[in-house]
Structure 1
Amino acid sequence: MSSIDFDDVLQHIGERGLYQQIMYYLLCIPATIPAAFLAFSQVFVSASPEHWCRVPSLDRHPLAADQQKALAIPYTLRPDGRRQYSRCYMYDVNFTALLHVQSQSIGPHQQLPLPESGWNVTKCLYGWNYDHKDYDSTLVTELNLVCDDGWWPSTSTTFFYVGSLFGNVVFGWVADKWGRRTSFFIILFLEVNLSILTAFSPNYVVYTVLRTINGLFFPAIYQIPFILALELMGPRHRTFAGMVICMFFALGLSLLALLGYLLRNWYTLSLATSVPFVLLFSYYWIIPESPRWLLSKNRINEAEEIVQTMARVNGKRVSKNFLRKMELENKQKLRNGTTGQQEIPNISATPMDLLRYPNIRKKFFILAFDWVANAVAYNGLAYNATNLGVSDYLAFFIGGAVEIPSYIITWYTMDRWGRRWVLCLTMLLGGMACMSCMFVPEDAVWMTVSLAMIGKFGIAASFAVFYVFVGELLPTVLRSQAMGIASFIAGIGLLGFPYIVYLVSAIICFSSNSKIMFSRTTKLLDKFLEFPETRDRFHHDISLKKDLLFQP
């Protein structure tokens, strides 16, 4: 390891000059938009729109969708008085015979027969009809991944994060071993090509396998360019670097919602969120290696070339062999004892160093715990946008847009109050807002949406603080590995959030079906008790059992 402190070098060539700003904004694009599309495109690609059982015999009659549901689908009444039709059950009735009146089919404006309590209820026998108000086509509607197969999208998301578990560690190690630039281009090349292949998945098993492999590159595709951009700047501008890159990510989320709204087809959306990023391969001739990392590996000549370029673009003058001269000066000072520093040996850090030193160990465990909490809440809120009761695109767009003011406010408060207190307060705000959603009435949709967006505001702000905090607390030689391992631990927590989101629709479906079956049983019992002999016998049996139960 070189004895040169790169922060001292930046004092001569500029901490945030024109060169750093150009590289920073260039790196913001691959670090955020592909990452946002990779992680969250499945919200729309595998969206499950409103659906109900298909009854082919009713398709032969000129009936509107609402008429078909009213006749063929059991329902319960919501608190606001609206009907909530079953998604997975239908009446098992001969509707052709029922609707045949004087050899004429009932027209769309004629009165339909009312469902009777004695009708048999069964699972969907002929597939499903889907509401195409928001989606022309998704993988769920094409493959009928609903009801008994409704677990597939959540499982696919879980496997995606299984892939990210191992990718974080692997690419964190690659970034520290062979450089940020090498790791970045490996990730970019594989992620873009696999995303394009995903659009041609013939079935959901292949789609899940490709998503799992692609999960290897998330969130490393965000972290590695972020680390590279952060290491080009001086300490005073790390807050700027952390906040602006988060704003780019929020814009990527809003852009994804806009593309989903305009395209409405999973195949077209998959291509639109992958093919354009082929242009990013041109970065190979633009993006340099991190000079801070090169100095940590004692590769001074390579760092010298980059430093000379930085100085020239920033309009600064430095001597030739500037770093070599600085190295000799530092060694001379160390020999003369004019500094309190000791010469640092050229050693390679390993992940075990995270546990070897008490100070680094304590920081690492705290950061890993915070990462789990933030990751589960953030991703859960993003994927749950489709369950908020408003347009999926609108909810997701607002969820992305609301992050931007959170970053602006955090940017100001971080420099004023520091990292720790801002991280604590924003996490409290996000957590309390999410918990408050439990106490909102079911029909107060926009109140739930508002609380969810406040939660997203707080969690996004805390994540922004967190990334800056991590970059500042961890040493250069361990930064990528530590972030990769901490993200691995967070990924373990992320394995459960898709099923937490899936529980929302599962509980709605179960509750609706239970109410339908209970209502049907109650109606049958009432009809059973209409006969005097049956009613008297029923009450006699109940009284007899009660006397036996409570006898002394």
Structure 2
Amino acid sequence: MAFQDLLNQVGSLGRFQILQMTFILTCNIIVSPHSLLENFTAAIPDHRCWVPILDNDTVSDNDSGILSQEDLLRVSIPLDSNLRPEKCRRFIQPQWHLLHLNSTFSSVTEPDTEPCVDGWVYDQSTFLSTIVTEWDLVCEFQSLDSVAKFLFLTGALVGNILYGCLTDRFGRRLIFICALLQLAITETCAALAPTFLIYCSLRFLAGTCFSTILTNSGLLIIEWIKPKFQALATALLLCAGAIGQIILAGLAFTIRNWYHLHLAMSIPMFFLLVPTRWLSESARWLIMVNKPQKGLKELRKVAHLNGMKNSGDVLTIEVVRTVMKEELEASQTKSSIWDLFRIPHLCKRICLLSLVRATALGVIGIAGSIGAALSPLFMILKTYSPSLPWIIYGVLPFLGALVVLLLPETKNQPLPDSIQDVENEGRVSRQAKQKDTFIKVTQF
């Protein structure tokens, strides 16, 4: 935890932190809504089968103009159990006799019906177009709508596995920029996708970098500020996501074409790539991967921006190596994702959070992505009880809140720099408990 000493010398909440935080929060405002885009772009409007006497301008069985649209609909589309026009079937032939039946009687024989072989007619009062109307994802194809959402969440799962390791290997800044570029390209292309298969493939690729951006956003903020303000920074990141979702809802209210809405949320990400040239890499990460010279350069830059020029001049490579001696020695040992579960103290934290650096967040993100991908499946339980899925959704957060009580307090505590720090934390905690027990027994 020695990095905190270096950070205190260059300023742990100054102009640099405010500028970096402002940019990253802006990124989160624009990026976060992409997980909810299909709440609007994949909305399912009211629909019915296309029928010639209603929807073909060149054919008219109502030349006299006596029959209303409602009458023509009645003879063309059967009624469902709720006495509303059926969405997925139509009469093979117009049933003119239905116009003369009393509402209390029904025909002796059920008229023959057929699927919507000529397509559908959609209500455009709310949305002019969605991916559902674009590729007719209704009736027997309605499950494909869920496939698109599932693939995005599956992409987030793959991204947590892949990019979590890459972040610890190549750095937070580089992976953040690459993921932002990938998201901008794939989401812009998805808005222009010619087929549903291409659209789903692009959304999968977008999902892989979506979670990476959010994870590295947190790292690039938290690793540059002191523990006292880390909770505030995390809260601001969450608020940025909420603001983005509010903006998405407002845009969806005014932009009613799905591809225009998709483009409106995607193109601004290209402009975010310009300021990334001034984005600073985590000095903590640079030092821990045995790049102290680059870490020192970043620390001196921060000291200059924060107006602590004397501190920047005092900082030397010898000071960095001395302060971070133990951590640098620990970094020489190759670690893997399995080390998160090898240390009992760390394994407990990871398991509880799934039910402190990028690889660990990737593991926790995997758990979250699995939960998100599986959550639509709970809706299948509505066939047994309409309220059962909602009961499950409501109970699980309470169980998660109880699990948090088992985690250690982190308020105003410095972040551990390595697995060894967490291991030492657990050893100190056990020694304190043993000492406390010894004192009690002695007093007795």
TM-score surpassing 0.5? yes
Q: Which amino acid aligns with 1:11?
A: N
Conservation of the 8 A alpha-carbon contact between 2:15 and 2:306:
yes
Secondary structure in 1 matching 2:333: coil
Q: CA deviation at 1:320?
A: 2.3
Cα distance change on mapping 1:19 and 1:33 into 2, 3 Å: same
- The match for 2:344 is 358
SS state of the match for residue 315, structure 1? coil
Shift of 1:365: 1.0
Match of residue 87 from structure 1: 87
1:24-103 aligned at under 5 Å gives the runs 24-37=21-34, 39-59=35-55, 60=60, 61=62, 66-71=70-75, 72-77=77-82, 84-95=84-95
Q: Which residue of 2 aligns with 1:17?
A: 14
What pairs up with 1:282-321 in 2 under 5 angstroms? 282-316=274-308, 317-320=310-313
Q: 1:481 is matched with which residue? A: 359
SS at match of 1:210: helix
Equivalent-residue separation in structure 1 for 2:73 and 2:314 (angstroms): 79
Measured in 1, the distance between the counterparts of 2:290 and 2:164 equals: 20
- Among residues 329, 354, 359, which one is paired with 1:368 in the alignment? 354
- How has the CA–CA distance of structure 1 residues 488 and 98 changed in structure 2, closer, same or farther, with 3 Å as cutoff? same
Q: Is the 8 A contact 1:54 1:124 kept in 2?
A: no
> How far apart are 1:342 and its partner, in Å?
11
Amino acid at match of 1:94: P
Q: Describe the SS at the equivalent of 1:129.
A: strand
Contact 2:289 2:331 in 1 (8 A): no
1:322 pairs with one of 315, 318, 330: 315
Alignment of 1:87-126 (within 5 A): 87-95=87-95, 116-117=106-107, 118-120=109-111, 122-125=113-116, 126=118
Give the direction of change, closer, same or farther, for the CA distance of 1:206–1:112 in structure 2 (3 Å limit). Answer: farther
Residue type matched to 2:39 in 1?
V
Equivalent residue, structure 2, for 1:156: 148
Give the letter aligned to residue 353 of structure 1. D
Structure 2 residues not aligned, in runs of 5+: 387-444
Q: Which residue of 1 aligns with 2:421?
A: none
Q: Which one-letter code corresponds to 1:322 in the other structure? A: L
- 1:253 deviates by 0.6
Q: Distance in 2 between matches of 1:93 and 1:505?
A: 34
Deviations 1:285-340 (A, max 9, x none): 210111111121232221222211211221223152504243365489x9xxxxxx
Change (3 A) 1:346 1:501: same
Deviation at 1:113, TM superposition (A): 7.9
- In structure 1, the partner of 2:433 is none
Change beyond 3 A, Cα 1:32–1:5: farther
Q: How big is each residue's C-alpha offset from its partner over 1:74-126, in whole Å with a ceiling of 9 and x where there is no partner? A: 0334xxxxx5443223344424x559xxxxxx9xxxx9986834342534333
Q: Which amino acid aligns with 1:88?
A: C
1:176-201, CA deviations, whole angstroms, 9 ceiling, x for partnerless residues?
Answer: 01100111111111111111111121
Q: Relative to structure 2, which stretch is displaced further, 357-366 or 7-16?
A: 7-16
User: Structure 1 residues 351-360 or 6-15, which shifts more?
Assistant: 6-15
Specify the SS of the correspondent of 2:276.
Answer: helix
- Aligned equivalents of 1:355 and 1:64: distance in 2? 71
| 1:266 aligned residue | 258
SS at match of 2:311: coil
- Structure 1 residue 493 corresponds to structure 2 residue 374: no
The gaps in structure 1 that reach 5 residues or longer are 78-82, 100-105, 335-340, 370-473, 509-552
Q: Which moved more, 1:492-501 or 1:249-258?
A: 492-501
TM-aligned CA distance change 1:286 to 1:121, over 3 Å: farther
The structure-2 alpha-carbon separation of the partners of 1:203 and 1:65, relative to structure 1 and needing over 3 Å to count, comes to farther
Contact 1:45 1:138 in 2 (8 A): yes
One-letter code of the match for 2:123? D
1:208 to 195, 200, 212: 200
Q: TM-score, normalised by structure 2?
A: 0.76
Question: Aligned in 2, Cα 1:271/1:319: closer, same or farther, shift over 3 Å?
Answer: closer
C-alpha displacement at 1:491, in angstroms? 2.2
Please provide the CA RMSD for this pair: 3.0
Moved more, 49-58 or 251-260: 49-58
Alignment counterpart, residue 171 of structure 1, candidates 136, 146, 163: 163
Say if 1:231 and 1:290, in contact at 8 Å, map to a contact too: yes
Secondary structure of the residue aligned to 1:90 is: strand
Deviations 1:350-382 (A, max 9, x none): 10111110011111111111xxxxxxxxxxxxx
Query: Is the 2:47–2:121 Cα contact (8 Å) retained in structure 1?
Result: yes
CA–CA distance in 2 between the matches of 1:7 and 1:271? 42
CA distance in 1, matches of 2:315, 2:68: 79
Give the letter aligned to residue 366 of structure 1: L
Give identity over the alignment, percent.
26
Q: Which amino acid aligns with 1:116?
A: S
Count matched residues.
373
Counterpart of 1:386?
A: none
Question: Which whole-Å CA distance do the structure 1 matches of 2:307 and 2:206 have between them?
Answer: 41
Q: Measure, in 1, the Cα distance between the counterparts of 2:324 and 2:148.
A: 55
Question: For the residues of structure 2 that align with 1:349 and 1:235, how far apart are their CA atoms?
Answer: 25
> In 2 relative to 1, CA 177–204 (structure 1 residues): closer, same or farther, beyond 3 Å?
same
CA distance in 1 between partners of 2:24 and 2:165 (Å): 20
Aligned to 2:190: 198
Q: Are the aligned partners of 1:28 and 1:226 in contact in 2 as well (CA < 8 Å)?
A: no
Separation of aligned partners in 2, 1:501 and 1:266: 25
Contact 1:188-1:221 at 8 Å conserved across structures? yes
Any conservation in 2 of the 1:195–1:214 contact (CA below 8 Å)? yes
Aligned residue in 2 for 1:450: none
**Does the residue aligned with 1:185 lie in a helix, a strand or coil?**
helix
Q: Which amino acid aligns with 2:106?
A: E
| Structure 2 counterpart of 1:391 | none
How do 1:333-352 and structure 2 match up within 5 A? 344=330, 346-352=332-338
Contact 1:74 1:91 in 2 (8 A): no
Structure 1 counterpart of 2:250, which letter?
Answer: L
Deviation at 1:17, TM superposition (A): 1.0
